């Protein structure tokens, strides 16, 4: 690994794509063809950048490298926010894969995009979403991953914007961005908590230490990692957050699959995969997360079986279950195993969505192309369910091998894989049968077939593992070259190999047969059985009443908030306090006024009485009788006085 002085071309191309996306939105009225040419330029630039940075052009060898810069504070300072680019195999794989998938969808459905009312939003969301995934997977620090998640989530919301005028679609869009928003906020909280307990966060700390960069080992923080996991959970939205996936959407299905499901999931998984070594510090808590995701997968699959045969809900919920399994695989068997599972689910999602778009509208076309589309649909189902020869099968084998040490876990995982494969094959048969019933497929061009085939080929085992059967044969006898991502061999040992292989392939085969027997041959037995249980169906299909729980929590919060604000702001501040103050002031003023009056009256009365007495006395003096009495008294008094004075 080496240290770069400048960011990679891929990072520049991704940022340029974001600018293009903004330009398409702002200038859609002025750009020709609603800005599609700008979208094409963006994607081509991105692919070219991938080629140059990975050595496809020129001398052709790949070198891992990093680039780091400070965002807030110095780059290696504790508590700072640093941004960095990590150029490694896994990141390039994810980024290139996303770019290729987006380019293929653009190639396939450009005419369909042009016919949409808000085509510019679709082009812009495609560019922004791909850029988000590229940034998330090229990130050396989790802060840039969060920016990538923000971009890809925002792109998905923008894509949903084409259908905002319908109330149900609007509710779905609101639920979508609420869940992603919550997930993003919780991830930011978790990240901040981790950053507060140690130096600036980086991925691949061990590799960076080998480059002589200062010790980056931060203190482990279960709370921060826990919040991060919960945030990732919300962003991926498995059960119980199925409400957005359930229900028919007006958005064109491949668009919805790529922009609203795959791209946000890829971005969110960057955090889970890159931080795997830190999450393992949680110990048993991380394992519990895995077990919880297995449970979520089961519940989602069960709900999918109760969905009406409307593709938006069925395929959407199936993919949610797949994501739950991917998340379960990370703690149980590692990131690369989960990646294999994700490859299968992604290729299946795209193929199913395209088949749905093709088969649902009846119009005339060539029967050979229709047959080809059915074949590709079957291949898609095989790819999605981990059949022989596909990369996704290695995930099932490896996770069963890792779980053998824990009693019962292997059985549970096998059950989950069986149900997952059963649902995948059910969808496959239903799609193929609907093509038959709709007589012909609409506008089925060769590009649709080729693109769908490409998506299946991306999951072929020998591309990733170098083994034709993906490790189905003992001793890797069919290996052609070194695996692309990690030089791991699937050497389970003879005893384990036989039991794991038997269990896994047996489950897949039984699932295929069950699907054929219940769905492929005649009518859909599941749909028929479920139709006899309307209440249970309504409960399970709507997500086990989670909407009601959510509404109840929301109502409780609103009631509390209303109560507190009403008591404080109305009862206290507008009524009690003013009245109380007024009473206090009025009371004091009244008391003082009364006291003043009393004192005044009292003083007046005193003055009146004194003056009355004196006045009365003087008045009495002026009357005649008193005068003579006074003369006698004064004369007598004078005589007594003279007498005593004379004696002295």
Partner 1 sequence: MKYHMISWMVFLPIIGTLLQVFLPEKKSKWLALGSSLAASVAALFLVMSLGTDSADPQAGEVFAWIGSYAIRYDMAVDGFNILVVLLLALLFPVLIACEWTRAEGVKGMYSLFLLLQASLFGALCAQDLFLQFSFWGLSALPFYFLIGIWGGEGREKAAFRTMMASVVGNSLIFAALVLIYYSLEPHTFSIHEIAQGAIRQAVVPVFGTSVKVTTLACLLMCGGLALRAPVWPFHGWFIEAAEEAPPSVLVALAAGVVPVALSLFVRMSYCLFPDVLRAHAPALVLIGLTNLFMGALSAVAQKSLRTLLAHVCISELGLILMGAGSLSPEGLVGSLYQVLMLGIGLAGFGIFLSLMTDRVGSSVFIGTPGTSHKLGMQAPTIAVVAGVVVASLLGFPGFGGFVGHALIMIGGFSARPWSIFPLSLSFLLVSAALFRMYRSIFLGKAQVSGGPDVSLREQLAIVPLVILMCVCGIYPKPFIEMIRPTALTMLSLLHRDGE
Residue from 39, 106, 173, 409 touching partner 1 (CB under 8 A): that is 173
Which of these ranges, 194-202, 266-274, 413-421, 509-517, lies near partner 1 under the rule CB under 8 A? 194-202
Q: Is 561 in the site for partner 1 (CB under 8 A)?
A: yes
The torsion of the CA quartet 273, 274, 275, 279, rounded to 10 degrees, works out to 30
Question: Is the Cβ of residue 149 or residue 431 nearer to partner 1 in the bound state?
Answer: 149
Q: Which of 182, 291, 516, 539 is close enough to bind partner 1 by CB under 8 A?
A: 182
195 binds partner 1 (CB under 8 A): yes
* Contacting residue, 367, 502, 565, 613, with partner 1 by CB under 8 A: 565
Which positions from 210 to 239 touch partner 1 by CB under 8 A, shown as an x/- string?
Answer: -------------xx--x------------
Angstrom distance (rounded) from CA 500 to CA 497: 5
Name the residue nearer to partner 1 (CB basis): 6 or 89: 6
Residue 73 makes contact with partner 1 by CB under 8 A: yes
How many CB atoms neighbour CB 594 within 10 A?
Answer: 10
- CB of 466 closer than 8 Å to CB of 479: yes
DSSP string, 101-142: HHHHHHHHHHHHHHHSTTHHHHHHHHHHHHHHHHHHHHBSSH
State the Cα–Cα distance between residues 7 and 332, nearest whole angstrom. 34
Least separation in angstroms between CB 266 and partner 1: 17
- Least Cβ distance, residue 363 to partner 1 (angstroms): 30
CB-neighbour burial class of residue 585 (10 A; exposed 0-12, middle 13-18, buried 19+):
exposed
Q: Per this entry, what is the length of the chain? A: 648
Size of the site for partner 1 (CB under 8 A): 55
Q: Check residue 299 for interaction with partner 1 (CB under 8 A).
A: no
Calculate Rg over the CA atoms of the chain: 41
Handedness of CA 346, 349, 351, 354 (dihedral sign): negative
Residue 215 or 569: the one with the smaller Cβ distance to partner 1 is: 569
Other C-beta atoms closer than 10 Å to the C-beta of 291 total 16
177 counts as binding partner 1 under rule CB under 8 A: yes
Residue 241, φ and ψ in degrees, nearest 5: -95, 55
Of 32, 591, 237, the C-alpha closest to 40 is: 32
CB of 227 to partner 1, least distance (A): 7
The helix-helix angle for 119-138 and 142-160 (nearest 10°) equals 160
Q: 106 and 37 in contact (C-beta within 8 Å)?
A: no
Residues 85-114 that bind partner 1 (CB under 8 A): none
Report the residue number, 3 or 564, with the smaller CB distance to partner 1.
Answer: 564
Among 564, 592, 595, 614, binds partner 1 (CB under 8 A): 564
Is there binding between residue 184 and partner 1 (CB under 8 A)? yes
Taking the C-alpha atoms of residue 626 and residue 635, their distance in angstroms, rounded to an integer, is: 14
Give whichever of 217 and 600 is closer to partner 1, judged by the CB atom: 217
Q: From 385-393, 536-544, 553-561, 627-635, give the range in contact with partner 1 by CB under 8 A.
A: 553-561
- Residue 12 binding partner 1, by CB under 8 A: no
Sign for the pseudo-dihedral over CA of 485, 489, 495, 497: positive
248 binds partner 1 (CB under 8 A): no
| Residues engaged in binding partner 1 (CB under 8 A) | 70-73, 79, 81, 143, 146-147, 149-151, 161, 164-167, 170-171, 173-174, 177-178, 181-182, 184-186, 188-189, 191-193, 195-197, 223-224, 227, 554, 557-562, 564-565, 568-569, 572-574, 577-578
């Amino acid at each position: 690994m080496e240290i770069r002085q400048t960011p990679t071309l891929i990072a520049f191309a991704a940022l340029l794509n974001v600018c293009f996306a903004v330009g398409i939105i702002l200038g859609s009225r002025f750009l020709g063809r609603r800005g599609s040419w700008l979208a094409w330029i963006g994607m081509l630039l991105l692919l070219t950048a991938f080629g140059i940075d990975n050595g496809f052009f020129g001398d052709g060898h790949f070198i891992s490298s990093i680039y780091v810069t400070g965002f807030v504070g110095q780059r290696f300072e504790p508590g700072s926010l640093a941004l960095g680019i990590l150029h490694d195999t896994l990141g390039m794989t994810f980024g290139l894969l996303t770019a290729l998938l987006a380019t293929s969808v653009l190639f396939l459905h450009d005419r369909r995009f042009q016919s949409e009312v808000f085509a510019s939003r679709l082009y812009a969301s495609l560019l922004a979403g791909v850029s988000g995934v590229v940034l998330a997977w090229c990130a050396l620090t989790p802060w840039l991953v969060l920016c990538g998640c923000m971009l890809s989530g925002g792109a998905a919301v923008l894509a949903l914007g084409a259908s905002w005028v319908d109330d149900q679609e609007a509710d779905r869009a609101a639920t979508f961005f609420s869940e992603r928003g919550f997930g993003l906020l919780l991830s930011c909280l978790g990240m901040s908590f981790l950053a507060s307990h140690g130096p600036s966060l980086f991925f691949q700390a061990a590799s960076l230490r080998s480059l002589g960069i200062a010790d980056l080992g931060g203190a482990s923080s279960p709370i921060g990692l826990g919040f991060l996991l919960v945030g990732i959970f919300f962003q991926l939205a498995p059960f119980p957050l199925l409400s957005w996936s359930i229900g028919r959407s007006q958005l064109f299905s491949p668009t919805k699959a790529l922009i609203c499901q795959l791209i946000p999931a890829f971005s969110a998984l960057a955090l889970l995969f890159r931080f795997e070594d830190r999450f393992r510090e949680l110990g048993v808590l991380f394992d519990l997360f895995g077990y919880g995701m297995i449970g979520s997968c089961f519940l989602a699959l069960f709900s999918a079986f109760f969905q009406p045969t409307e593709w938006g809900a069925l395929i959407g919920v199936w993919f949610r279950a797949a994501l739950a399994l991917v998340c379960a695989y990370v703690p149980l068997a590692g990131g690369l195993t989960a990646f294999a599972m994700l490859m299968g689910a992604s290729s299946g999602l795209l193929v199913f969505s395209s088949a749905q778009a093709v088969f649902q509208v009846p119009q005339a076309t060539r029967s050979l192309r229709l047959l080809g589309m059915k074949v590709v649909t079957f291949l898609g189902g095989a790819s999605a369910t981990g059949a022989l020869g596909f990369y996704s099968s290695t995930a099932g084998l490896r996770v069963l091998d890792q779980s053998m040490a824990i009693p019962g876990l292997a059985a549970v995982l096998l059950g989950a894989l069986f149900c997952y494969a059963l649902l995948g094959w059910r969808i496959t048969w239903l799609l193929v049968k609907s093509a038959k019933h709709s007589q012909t497929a609409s506008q089925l061009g060769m590009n649709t077939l080729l693109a769908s085939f490409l998506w299946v080929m991306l999951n072929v085992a020998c591309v990733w593992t170098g083994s034709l059967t993906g490790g189905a044969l003992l001793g890797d006898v069919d290996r052609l070259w070194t695996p692309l991502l990690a030089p791991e061999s699937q050497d389970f040992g003879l005893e384990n190999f036989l039991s794991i292989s038997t269990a896994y392939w047996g489950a897949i085969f039984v699932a295929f047969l069950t699907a054929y027997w219940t769905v492929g041959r005649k009518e859909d037995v599941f749909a028929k059985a479920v139709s006899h249980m309307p209440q249970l169906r309504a409960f399970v299909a709507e997500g086990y009443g989670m909407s009601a729980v959510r509404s109840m929590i929301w109502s409780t919060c609103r009631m509390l908030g209303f109560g507190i604000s009403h008591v404080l702001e109305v009862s206290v501040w507008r009524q009690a306090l003013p009245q109380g103050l007024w009473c206090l002031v009025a009371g004091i003023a009244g008391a003082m006024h009364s006291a003043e009056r009393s004192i005044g009256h009292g003083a007046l009365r005193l003055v009146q009485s004194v003056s009355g007495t004196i006045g009365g006395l003087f008045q009495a003096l002026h009357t005649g009788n008193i005068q003579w009495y006074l003369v006698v008294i004064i004369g007598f008094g004078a005589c007594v006085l003279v007498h005593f004075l004379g004696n002295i």
